[in-house]
């Protein structure tokens, strides 16, 4: 009896507090991402998954052996907060060699848990409530939520197929005295465009002498085709001074699941970046840092990437040209977009689901990359796949 009397109010109390606990969403519009949805559907119906951006082949056995060695050598405790110095030094050497820009490994480079953490951390460090951030859409899906969580305002500018060029006169009109940051992504996911010299000139003209930061998402820096060069922000002093550059080893070394990347920025920006980084993750996977530091010493590990992916692009495009899809240009990344207006007038989300279920090939509807869901009837396929996977997918797509 005594027990029951005590227990009753406790049970009621917990029930009451369960009902009372509230959380006000900072991202009320955010649901499960289209990447998760399409990959899950592809697995469920046994479709070939050309939706999410990851390879279906393994990364180099040599790199895996280097990780094993690092673990066996006892590198299993926390790495330094900013990353292993030997890895930061290799990143600095690589950047200097490629872009003739010096980043001090001590103060200007931080190793992150993938490009996504670099992006989130930079936004978190730099954006105050009501700051405006210019984002070009279609856009990688992590930018806008990060801005909103910080109380910033997303100023989107929509780009259109087939060439998705940035209308710089519109950018100029979008800039206000609240503009704090412009986010760029080249090579670009999902449109596969790359910034040209004219874009760089326009950008420099806009930000020069302005208090505007740049977040440059360069995770596909080595996936540039047809002999074009990657226009890194590191190469241009006016841009370099104000840029956080986000990079990803997962994209380069075919191991997206390792979630390894880095951020480079001038010391004053990096100092603020690290204040957030140290409380977000403190430090990043230690044995993999040892392994990548060693692996990067051989420059062919990244210099061979354009040819490797261009061969896949050319193979996939030549085969896709036999289907009823209309190919859009592909200058970089491992994505190929197509228009399907000759096949159907369905919404892109509907046809993407139908192709997965009825024809066995999963893609991403490009409307998912627009805040307003703008539908240009474009689907994105990922061609970072074995040739046999691409060939099997094409056999199916030919039936449409």
Ligand X SMILES: Cc1ncc(COP(=O)(O)O)c(C=O)c1O
CB of 259 to ligand X, least distance (A): 6
Name the residue nearer to ligand X (CB basis): 261 or 360.
261
Between CA 260 and CA 292 the distance in angstroms is: 9
Structural contact between residues 245 and 210, judged by C-beta atoms closer than 8 angstroms = no
Q: Which is nearer to ligand X, 114 or 152 (CB)?
A: 114
For residues 258 and 326, which CB has a smaller minimum distance to ligand X in the complex?
258
Report in angstroms how near the CB of residue 261 gets to ligand X at its nearest.
Answer: 4
**Strands in the chain per DSSP E:** 48-49, 109-112, 132-137, 153-158, 179-185, 213-217, 243-248, 261-264, 326-327, 335-339, 361-362, 364-365, 378-382
Using CA atoms, how far apart are residues 186 and 140, in angstroms rounded to an integer? Answer: 11
User: CB-wise, 202 or 217, nearer to ligand X?
Assistant: 217
Angstrom distance (rounded) from CA 353 to CA 39? 11
| Smallest distance from ligand X to CB 18, Å | 35
Q: Which residues pair with 384 in a beta bridge?
A: none
How many CB atoms within 10 Å of residue 282? 11
Q: Least distance from C-beta 374 to ligand X, angstroms? A: 18
CB of 142 to ligand X, least distance (A): 7
> Using only C-alpha atoms, what is the Rg of the chain?
23
219 vs 331, beta carbon nearer ligand X: 219
Q: How far is the CB of 229 from ligand X (least distance, A)?
A: 19
Q: Which is nearer to ligand X, 110 or 185 (CB)?
A: 185
137, β-bridge pairs: 158
Q: Cβ distance 340 to 377 under 8 Å?
A: yes
Smallest separation (angstroms) from ligand X to the CB of 277:
14
Q: C-alpha angle 128/144/278, rounded to 5°?
A: 55
Beta carbon nearer to ligand X, 113 or 394 = 113
Q: Smallest distance, Å, CB 377 to ligand X?
A: 22
Q: Give the nearest residue (CB) to ligand X.
A: 114
The residue among 95 and 116 lying less far from ligand X, judged by its C-beta, is 116
Binding region for ligand X (CB under 6 A): 53, 114-116, 140, 185, 189, 217, 219, 248, 250, 256, 259, 261
Least distance to ligand X from the beta carbon of 9, Å?
Answer: 49
Q: What is the rounded CA–CA span in Å between residue 53 and residue 155?
A: 26
Closest CB to ligand X among 331 and 394? 331
Cα first-last separation, the chain:
73
How many whole angstroms separate alpha carbon 9 and alpha carbon 277?
A: 44
Element (H, E) at 286: helix 286-295
Of 219 and 270, nearer to ligand X (C-beta) is 219
Instruction: Assess whether the previous peptide bond of 138 is cis (omega < 30° from 0).
Output: yes
Distance CA 280, CA 266 (A): 20
What 3 state SS string does 232-274 have? CHHHCHHHHCCEEEEEEHHHHCCCHHHCCEEEECCHHHHHHHH
Closest separation in Å from C-beta 159 to ligand X:
14
């Amino acid at each position: 009896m005594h027990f029951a009397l005590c227990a009753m109010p406790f049970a009621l109390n917990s029930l009451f507090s369960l009902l009372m606990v509230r959380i006000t969403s900072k991202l009320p519009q955010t649901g499960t991402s289209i990447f998760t949805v399409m990959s899950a559907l592809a697995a469920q119906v046994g479709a070939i998954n050309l939706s999410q951006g990851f390879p279906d082949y393994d990364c180099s056995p040599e790199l895996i052996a280097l990780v094993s060695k690092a673990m066996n050598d006892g590198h299993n405790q926390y790495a330094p907060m900013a990353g292993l110095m030997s890895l930061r030094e290799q990143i600095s050497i690589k950047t200097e060699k490629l872009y003739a820009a010096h980043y001090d490994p001590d103060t200007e480079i931080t190793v992150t848990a993938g490009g996504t953490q670099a992006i989130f951390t930079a936004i978190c460090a730099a954006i105050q409530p009501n700051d405006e951030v210019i984002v070009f859409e279609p856009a990688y899906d992590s930018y806008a939520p990060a801005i909103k969580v910080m109380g910033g305002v997303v100023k989107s500018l929509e780009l259109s197929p087939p060439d998705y060029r940035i209308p710089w006169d519109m950018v100029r009109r979008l800039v206000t005295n609240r503009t704090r940051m412009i986010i760029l992504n080249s090579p670009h996911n999902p449109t596969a465009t790359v910034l040209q010299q004219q874009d760089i000139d326009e950008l420099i003209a806009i930000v020069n002498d302005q208090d505007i930061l740049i977040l440059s998402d360069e995770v596909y820096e080595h996936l540039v085709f047809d002999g074009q060069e990657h226009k890194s922000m590191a190469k241009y002093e006016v841009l370099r001074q104000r840029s956080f550059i986000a990079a990803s080893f997962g994209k380069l070394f075919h191991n997206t699941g390792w979630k390894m990347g880095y951020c480079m920025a001038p010391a004053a920006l990096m100092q603020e970046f690290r204040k957030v980084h140290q409380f977000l993750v403190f430090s990043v996977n230690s044995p993999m840092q040892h392994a990548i530091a060693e692996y990067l010493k051989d420059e062919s590990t990244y210099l061979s990437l354009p040819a490797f992916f261009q061969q896949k692009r050319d193979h996939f495009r030549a085969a896709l040209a036999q289907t009823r899809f209309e190919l859009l240009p592909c200058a970089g990344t491992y994505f190929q977009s197509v228009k399907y207006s000759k096949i159907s007038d369905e919404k892109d989300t509907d046809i993407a689901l139908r192709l997965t279920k009825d024809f066995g090939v999963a893609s991403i509807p490009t409307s998912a990359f627009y805040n307003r869901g703008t539908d240009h009837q474009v689907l994105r396929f990922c061609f970072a796949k074995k040739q046999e996977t691409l060939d099997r997918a094409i056999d199916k797509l030919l039936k449409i």
